[in-house]
A and B are shown apart, each in its own frame.
Chain A
Amino acid sequence: MVETGSELAHEEARLRENALVSQCLQEAAEEVLETMFFMTVEREVEWEEVSGKPHLYAEMDFQGAAEGRLELALSEDLAPVLASGFFGKDESELRPSEIEAVMCELANMLCGSVLSRLESGSLFQLGAPQAMATDLEQESRINAGHRRVFDLGCGDVKICFWMWREPEANPAQ
């Protein structure tokens, strides 16, 4: 199949955008985890490498200059560690609602951080982050869009990000 000049240009633009979003996801994750949770990203891992492990989920939508969603999954061993640091409490004292609240805050900060990197000159309305039940349906929800998985040593963070300007005509991914 022969690609036209315009198709090649479109494909190059798509690849550039993918690389930019991917880089922004990494920078945002490193910044948020280090600044608010004093955790360091040890390495990036393959999505499939952690897909069988139990995770807790949160997600949030945004609208404005572009529309989209950020989804977050924390491995069950990592979520209480992050919540413990956030609240300054021992893990044994944490309530499930506190762990969910920290998941939501993390999703919120990641989304804001990514958008400010990608589109600093734009206005967005950020939706309210929501913690989601862990089930197979949720697992499948996070299997599209720009995806990164980071190993923090004591667990992993999966991030999935979609952004599109015209939902029907011009998806970013």
Chain B
Amino acid sequence: MAFDVLIVDDSPAMRSFIGRVLDLSGMEIGARLEAGHGAEALEILRKSWVDVILTDINMPVMNGEEFLTEVAARGDLKSVPVVVVSTDSTGKRMERMLSLGAKGYVKKPFSPESLREELERVLEVADGGNR
């Protein structure tokens, strides 16, 4: 089964890189949607369903913390797992993002394998281990 993914990052270069890593990861990826910040991501999520969201933290307009808070507050999005993909990877920051509702955390720099492993773990968690 192919997974639809939303990549939220203010850097087009990083969105492109993550997309390429997903392609190389061996996972079946369906639609790959992109947003430059949290508000744009919420707008996309109003119209499209995705299986998983990958989000950065430091972004203009709506940052990753604000985005996570919005996602957690919206009943229709609660079941969509959010994985933080960020250079900001102190233990304190990771703890904070997980407490806000993130289901996974991938520290940049990351290898294709580590992204795949985290996505598989999170999608299994989100699906009750049935995937």
Contacts and interface: CB of A to CB of B under 8 A. Distances in A.
Interface of A: 31-32, 35-36, 86-88, 98, 101-102, 104-105, 108-109, 111-113, 115-116, 119-128
Contacts, number: 72
A2 to B, nearest CB: 41
A116 B90 contact: yes
Contact of B90 (A101, A123, A128): A123
Contacts of B20: 87-88
Interface string B90-119: 111100100000000001111100000000
> How big is the B interface, by class?
20 to 34
Interface of B: 10-14, 16-17, 20, 58, 60, 86-93, 96, 107-111
Contacts of A104: 11, 13
Contacts of B107: 112, 116
Nearest to B17: A86
A132 B95 CA distance: 34
Nearest to A108: B87
B24 to A, nearest CB: 9
17 contacts: A32-B109, A86-B13, A87-B16, A101-B11, A105-B11, A108-B87, A109-B87, A111-B87, A112-B86, A112-B88, A112-B107, A113-B87, A115-B90, A116-B89, A119-B90, A120-B91, A124-B90
Given A36-B109, A86-B17, A109-B108, 4 more contacts: A35-B109, A35-B111, A104-B13, A116-B91
A126 B13 contact: no
Contacts of A116: 89-91, 107
Contacts of B93: 123-124
| Most A Cβ at <10 Å: residue of B12, B87, B111 | B87
B96 A123 contact: yes
